[in-house]
Structure 1
Amino acid sequence: MPAGKNKPIVVIAGELNVDIILSGEDVVPEWNREKMIDTFDVVLGSSSAITACALASLGADVRFVSVVGADDFGTFAIAELERMGVDIANVTRLAAVKTGVTLSFSTPSDRGLVTYPGSIPLLTPAYISESLLRQADHLHFGSYYLQDNMRPHWKTLFQQLRKLGVSTSFDTGWDVRNEWDCEGISGLLAYTDLFIPSEEEALHIFASSSLSEAIGKLPAAAGTVVIKRGSKGAMLRTPDGLVVAAEPYRVSPIDTTGAGDCFNAGLITAYLNGSRGEELLRYANACGALSTLGVGGTGNLPTKEAVEQMQTEALA
């Protein structure tokens, strides 16, 4: 971040949708049977949007670029972004399009997702202005496999950002088509500062049976690769091949929805503040852990104060 600048400007170019979270000990549907759940919540969804809100909560100046439908869910999603301090000037509403919706079947230990894409794949480079990019310190996107109209263009965009001196990051999310596009991911990594898949995603992308095998298949030109491991913490591989791991913070989770996205926000925040190695991972781990103490991805957003308290208590 340039000297004298109060807040880093982070541009998030991504999907925007609503999550409907069904919570309980047993939320898996069964054909021709009815089950009762503990509760449900309608909250802001999407990996990109949750990361944006967590970044704003951690003190960044966040500019969100996306498209939604001109419907009630679109109105709700935009209002939630604005309420949580994210700049929405670059969010476009499209007529005759439904805003995407994800049903999240959430237990205290894990979750399963069912998504109606709607507006989710409709973002294109035309919505991302060069003037916005020139203001940015960092650009992040989530849901590589869901953003169909952007997927062919990320590499060109990241090349442009590297020339502008803007750092970059992305999170793949799950590939619902089970294709994983290793070639496309590997090509993009040459221009990426932070690549942030989960362990299971990394194993699929690089067709590996173990994490060490996947790390061994990473392109040599990649930036820092950070692998989220849930209750096992996280690890990273630096551009020069050094592998570093960090243990998780122990909490009693209420809902794991969005924990990985808040991890992303913590990682980006710490990276822009100059942290590297284990220090970088521990800050991100704290943000992910804090997220699980509320319902939905934005139910308990990390703050600098909460992260500091969690890290202090862990040392006590």
Structure 2
Amino acid sequence: MSKIVYIVGELNPDVILSGPDVKPEPNKEKLVEHFELTLGSSSAITACVLARLGVEVKFVSIAGNDEYGRYCVEQLNRYGVNTDHVRFTDREKTGVTFSLSNPTDRSLLTYMGTIPLVEPSLIPLDDISSEANHLHFGSFFLQERMKPHWLELFRQFREKGVTTSFDTGYDPRERWDREIIEPLLAHTDYFVPSETEAEHIFGSSDPAELASRLPVERGFVALKRGSKGASLLGPSGAWIDAEAFRVEPIDTTGAGDSFNAGFLYATLHGATPEERLRFASACGALATLRIGGVQGAPTAQEVREFMARRR
């Protein structure tokens, strides 16, 4: 029986400029090696990669009634994501992110537009409760209207047997909202921050120290550690580590979101904690070999073949 995942999130395209030197300098014109217009947003990238892996994904969002909004929905549909719960609005333009990407990192400039307009009234509560296996959201800090509502929503859905997960993304206002995130973790099965995000929220990215700073009542924490791999903290307090797959990155855009998709896929298909971490790490590594978060996203079989070659 097919697994059904609902993803609630922001929706915007990415304009990616990439090359060895993409840092702007005043009063200078610089040349870049690559340009790409592609589907962006943490939530949408996770949705597309997860659908490509073979999971039935239904996306909940809002976009501007403009060419960028329609482009985003077309891209979601192209990768097999159900968009019946995506709404269009004339109140605001679709948000856009400009990604300045080099082989090791990226800088993001975002016009918010419709990104923060996701709100509880858009969420199909009955549908999720009756048919979803899992609920995920990304970009906690950008989905401003949803911040005060996630805890109660997660609590309700878990009572219905729906597992939950989220990824914070970076906080552009650098407030980090620990007072909201800590109680939310009590109703979260899988929390998937990066090292940077964990350090800002909880004061440390060192796994040993982080374990003591996280709330006692929580689910799994999958910590994305870039070139150092990834680590998974279980409810018992023991960490599991996975080394990074060694690749020559082209563009790191969407690597963390692809990790999320791989982790959810492996979890929904009964993998052990060690297998989940390794499969997710492989998805993250493969994402760095393509420009943009979704183009060329692999099937589950392609991920397994990549892992077998690198064993």
TM-score (norm 1): 0.96
CA distance in 1, matches of 2:45, 2:37: 14
Equivalent residue number for residue 165 of structure 1: 161
Q: Separation in 2 of the partners of 1:307 and 1:246?
A: 16
- State the match for 2:281 in structure 1: 285
Amino acid aligned to 1:46: S
Partner residue, 1:226: 222
3-state DSSP of counterpart to 1:297: coil
Partner of 1:45: 40
1:105 match:
100
Secondary structure in 1 matching 2:256: helix
CA distance in 2 between counterparts of 1:237 and 1:87 reads 32
Contact 2:211 2:237 in 1 (8 A): no
Q: How does 1:28-43 map to 2 (within 5 A)?
A: 28-43=23-38
Alignment match of 1:136 (pick from 116, 132, 135): 132
Q: Which one of 91, 106, 118 corresponds to residue 96 of structure 1?
A: 91
Shift in Å at residue 277 of structure 1?
A: 2.1
TM-score (norm 2): 0.98
Q: Which amino acid aligns with 1:144?
A: F
Name the structure 2 match of 1:248: 244
Shift of residue 75 of structure 1?
A: 0.8
How big is each residue's C-alpha offset from its partner over 1:224-277, in whole Å with a ceiling of 9 and x where there is no partner?
001001111100110111111000111111111001000000000111111232
Q: Which runs of 5+ in 1 are unaligned?
A: none
1:211 to partner: Cα distance = 3.8
Please tell me whether residue 181 in structure 1 is matched to residue 177 in structure 2. yes
> One-letter code of the match for 1:56?
A
Whether 2:116 is the aligned partner of 1:121: answer yes
2:22 is matched with 27
- Mapping for residues 253-272 of structure 1, pairs under 5 Å: 253-272=249-268
Q: Distance in 1 between matches of 2:288 and 2:272?
A: 24
Q: For residue 23 of structure 1, report the CA deviation from its aligned partner.
A: 0.8
Partner of 1:78: 73
1: CA distance between counterparts of 2:218 and 2:272?
A: 16
RMSD: 1.0
| Residues 272-294 of structure 1, C-alpha deviations (whole Å, 9 max, x = no match) | 11123221100100111111111
Structure 2 CA distance for aligned equivalents of residues 10 and 171 of structure 1: 15
Q: Which amino acid aligns with 1:25?
A: P
2:35, 2:171 → 1: CA distance?
Answer: 26
Aligned residue for 1:172, secondary structure, equals: coil
Cα distance between partner residues in 2 of 1:139 and 1:107: 32
3-state SS of paired residue (2:143): coil
Rounded to whole Å, the distance in 2 between the matches of 1:87 and 1:44 is 15
The 3-state SS of whatever aligns with 2:187 is: coil
Give, as a single letter, the amino acid of the residue that structure 2 aligns with 1:97: E
Deviation at 1:209, TM superposition (A): 6.5
Q: Please say if residues 15 and 123 of structure 1, whose CA atoms lie closer than 8 Å, have aligned partners that are also in contact.
A: yes
Cα distance in 2 for residues equivalent to 1:189 and 1:49: 22
Deviations 1:143-163 (A, max 9, x none): 000000111100010001111
1:227 alignment partner, SS class: strand
Using the TM superposition, give the Cα deviation of residue 168 of structure 1 relative to its aligned residue in structure 2, in angstroms.
0.5
Distance in 2, matches of 1:216 and 1:35, equals 46
Is residue 58–residue 302 contact of structure 1 (8 Å, CA) maintained in 2? yes
Corresponding letter in the other structure for 2:279? Y
Question: Which range moves more in the overlay, 269-278 or 188-197?
Answer: 269-278
Where does the alignment leave 5 or more consecutive residues of structure 2 unmatched? none
The change in CA–CA distance for 1:209 and 1:48 in structure 2 (over 3 A counts) is closer
Question: Sequence identity, in percent?
Answer: 53
Please name the residue that 1:153 is paired with. 149
Q: Does 1:55 align with 2:87?
A: no
Distance in 1 (alpha carbons) for counterparts of 2:93 and 2:127: 26
Q: Which residue identity does 1:257 align to in structure 2?
A: T
Task: Give the Å deviation of 1:120.
Answer: 0.4
